[in-house]
Amino acid sequence: MYKIFLVEDDEAIAAAIVRHITSWGWEARRAGDLTRVLEEFAAFAPHLVLLDIGLPYRNGYHWCAELRRLSRVPVIFLSSASDNMNIVMAMNMGGDDFIAKPFDLEVLAAKIQALLRRAYEFGAAPPLLEHRGAVLDTGDNSLSYEGRKLELTRNEYRILQVLLEHKGKTVSRDTLMQKLWETDSFVDENTLTVNVTRLRRKLEGLGLDDFIHTRKGLGYLLE
């Protein structure tokens, strides 16, 4: 059973969220003491955190920064302050998603489900993934080859991670797009093509020619 930790000072909102989360079969717990969020987080060991921004004592940005010192658990920010500045700040502080108040509880549950699936149901990747002497470090999102290190963007890293985890097998474009952009928003397929093309150029610059193969009409693979 997945455990969801809620940090919210509005009792009515918190009660509604906890009831709805529980109805989905997840275990939910609200922070009881907003001066001891870290201690309660560590004691509960949740799989995901729902974090309000406008909290007494310390705001949500503070607590997210503190949580990131301990864990990479997914964090969804909740806030009535939904201007671009707050959204950007939330992502920069380590948040994985942002939901503006007021929100529909079904939308919240769907976002929680998507993050849980992405974070846990694909399974934990080994710390290092290797192919043709190139090693992907899942700790710092970099690729090393013959003593040289290549820094990867978030999307480049995820493309390589999925292909390496399925080495020797064709990975469909749909699978890659779901892994990279698990969202309700429409994503043009050309966006994936652009990311793969850019990644191939970087790999060639590292001396890894023909590292990613295309299977026309099917997808990509490493062989």
Burial of 53 (0-12, 13-18, 19+ CB in 10 A): buried
pLDDT tens string 107-124: 999 999 999 988 887 554
Query: What is the C-alpha to C-alpha distance for residues 205 and 193, in angstroms, rounded to an integer?
Result: 19
pLDDT in the model for residue 83: 75
Is the predicted pLDDT of residue 38 greater than 80, yes or no?
yes
pLDDT tens string 44-90: 888 999 999 989 999 999 999 888 877 788 999 998 877 778 788 88
Is the predicted pLDDT of residue 135 greater than 50, yes or no?
yes
The encoded tokens of residue 57 equal 């004592």
* Segment of 11-25, 32-46, 169-183 carrying the highest mean pLDDT: 11-25
The encoded tokens of residue 40 equal 């309660």
pLDDT in the model for residue 185: 44
What is the 3-class SS of 85-99, one letter each residue?
Answer: HHHHHHHHCCCCEEE
73 Rama class: left (phi>0) / alpha (psi -120 to 50) / beta: beta
pLDDT in the model for residue 139: 63
Output the CA angle 218-164-95, nearest 5 degrees. 100
Work out the number of other CB atoms within 10 angstroms of the CB of residue 59. 14
pLDDT in the model for residue 44: 85
Residue 149 or 210, more confident: 210
> What mean pLDDT is predicted for residues 172-177?
88
Is the predicted pLDDT of residue 125 greater than 50, yes or no?
no
Is the predicted pLDDT of residue 8 greater than 90, yes or no?
yes
**What is the pLDDT confidence band of residue 184, given thresholds at 50, 70 and 90?**
very low
Residue 222 or 123, more confident: 222
